[in-house]
Amino acid sequence: MTESAGMDRQRQADLLRRVAEKQDRAAFAELFRHFAPRVKGFMLRQGVPEDVADELAQESLITLWHRAVTFDPAQASVATWIFTIARNKRIDRIRRERRPELDPDDPALQPDPEPPPDAALDRQQEEDRLRAALADLPAEQKRLLELAFFQDISHRDIAVAENLPLGTVKSRIRLALARLKGRLESD
């Protein structure tokens, strides 16, 4: 930013330092008067509608107020920092606009209705039968089923973890499933 543009870099840095250190409203007002029209113009050149450009300019400068203490003059000039904030605000706006609004009445977002009492009882009885059938399995088969189905571990990883041949792991799981099936079908 040149002095002919109305404010030199050192003045900008001094004003921002006053905002950061003392929450100096007069310094902020001067920065706002200087940068708000420039940020708005930047947004308009990017094809942003005028009302949105106004909002983004205001949001950018409000962010400057809240985050002034994070400004590091060794990283960028005040102008670069403000225009980076503005660019990020624009990107955030675009992302929000592209994300569809969720309709709270959408059936897919509604919780499943509570099952009728008789269905809930049937489900509980099925779970009890399955638990009892699992309890009757030999310990090594039960352990392998738990690893494979409840912890979602691959047969190969189970073989390594349990120090068993892969074929043994697969055989024990098949046997366990066959026993469970037979037990549940006979009940």
pLDDT digits (tens, 9 = 90+) for 42-52: 999 989 999 99
Model pTM?
Answer: 0.51
Selected residue with higher pLDDT from 86 and 100: 86
At 18 the pLDDT is: 94
Q: What is the Cα–Cα distance from 182 to 125, expressed in whole angstroms?
A: 17
Q: Which amino acid is at 80?
A: T
What is the tens place of the pLDDT at every residue in 10-32?
A: 899 999 999 999 999 999 999 99
For 161, phi then psi, to 5°, come to: -65, -35
What are the extents of the domains in the chain?
3-98, 133-186
Q: How far, in Å, CA of 51 to CA of 15, rounded?
A: 28
78 CA to centre of own chain: 30
Residue 4 has pLDDT above 70, yes or no: no
Q: Helix/strand/coil (H, E, C) string of the chain?
A: CCHHHCCCHHHHHHHHHHHHHHCCHHHHHHHHHHHHHHHHHHHHHCCCCHHHHHHHHHHHHHHHHHHHHHCCCCCCCHHHHHHHHHHHHHHHHHHHHHCCCCCCCCHHHCCCCCCCHHHHHHHHHHHHHHHHHHHCCCHHHHHHHHHHHHCCCCHHHHHHHHCCCHHHHHHHHHHHHHHHHHHHHHC
Domain 3-98 -> CATH class: mainly alpha
**If you classify domain 133-186 with CATH, what class do you get?**
mainly alpha
For residue 6, name the pLDDT band (cuts at 50, 70, 90). Answer: low
- Distance between CA atoms of 28 and 41, rounded to whole angstroms? 19
Residue 2: per-residue pLDDT: 43
